[in-house]
Amino acid sequence: MSRLHAVIFDVDGTLAETERDGHRVAFNHAFERLGLPDRWEEPLYGELLWVTGGTERLRFYFERYRPLLAAERDRLVAELHRVKNEAFRQLIEGSGIAPRPGILRLFDELHRAGITTAVATTGSRAWVEPLLEKLLGRDRFSRITLVITGEDVARKKPDPEAYRVTLSKLAIRPEQALAMEDSQNGLEAAKGAALSCVITPSSYCRNHDFSQADFVVEELGDPGLRSRVLYNPHGIEVGEVIDTVTLHRLHHRSTAPARRP
């Protein structure tokens, strides 16, 4: 039985609710800055979120809703995404994007327990690192061992490459780690890398298919803020909050060899 060496965190939707009032607002700012009439309202953005990666999402949008000549589209996508990421960086600085309940507590607990923390996201490094520092604070951010972003992979989630690259760079096997995700794409990527996966559904992803998850809970919770367990296929015992004890129990159960019939 392998020990739990590392917990690998997704960013958008997992560490914080960054999509509806963050990235979506930044994309609309970019459309406006470039004098374009397009705006991504909340329902449409929820559909577009199935395409991971900002440039891929823009390209899908134009192909589906506003066909352009390929050269013009690609030039526009690149410029829009540059402006969007700059707008998102500024939004991070000024906004009230806060970590989801239990994130700061769990990072501190993992550090005290000597468990490595890493990040695997399809987002752009240009904003990922400022966001991590803003959300977690300088000390917790400095304790993250590895940050894998969209630039470090050829194929974004739901492809498992981001998790495979993370495991490889940490020099650990999948059974020595857990993934923390918020979406079906993220779950598929984690399971594709043979990782056990905890889901805290983000607001856009509550109706996603999490049947392959090892544990689904509304929030990680904090003292006095008990979280509702939504799916517990390994039947682990759960306290008031999701803590390192819970993660150790889940890791033990989810990596145990299948019981012989």
52-75 exposure pattern, b = at least 16 Cβ within 10 A, e = fewer = bbbbbbbbbbbeeeeeeeeeebee
Active site residue 182: no
| Per-residue contact string for residues 182-201; x = within reach of Mg ion by CB under 5 A | xx--x---------------
| Per-residue contact string for residues 61-100; x = within reach of ligand XBP by CB under 6 A | ------------------------x---------------
Length of the chain: 261
Q: Which range touches ligand XBP (CB under 6 A), out of 52-60, 98-106, 164-172, 221-229?
A: 52-60
Considering the rule CB under 6 A, would residue 59 count as an interface residue with ligand XBP? no
Q: Give the shortest CB-84-to-ligand XBP separation in angstroms.
A: 6
Neighbours of 99 (CB within 10 A): 20
Q: How far apart are the first and last CA of the chain?
A: 20
Considering the rule CB under 5 A, would residue 175 count as an interface residue with Mg ion? no
125-149 exposure pattern, b = at least 16 Cβ within 10 A, e = fewer = ebbbbbbbbbbbeeebbeebebbbb
58-63: long-range contacts, CB 8 A cutoff, minimum separation 24: 58/27
Active site residue 10: yes
| Candidates 10, 159, 214, 243; catalytic one | 10
Binding-site ranges for ligand XBP (CB under 6 A): 10-13, 19, 23, 52-54, 85, 121-124, 150, 157, 186
Interface with Mg ion (CB under 5 A): 10, 12-13, 182-183, 186
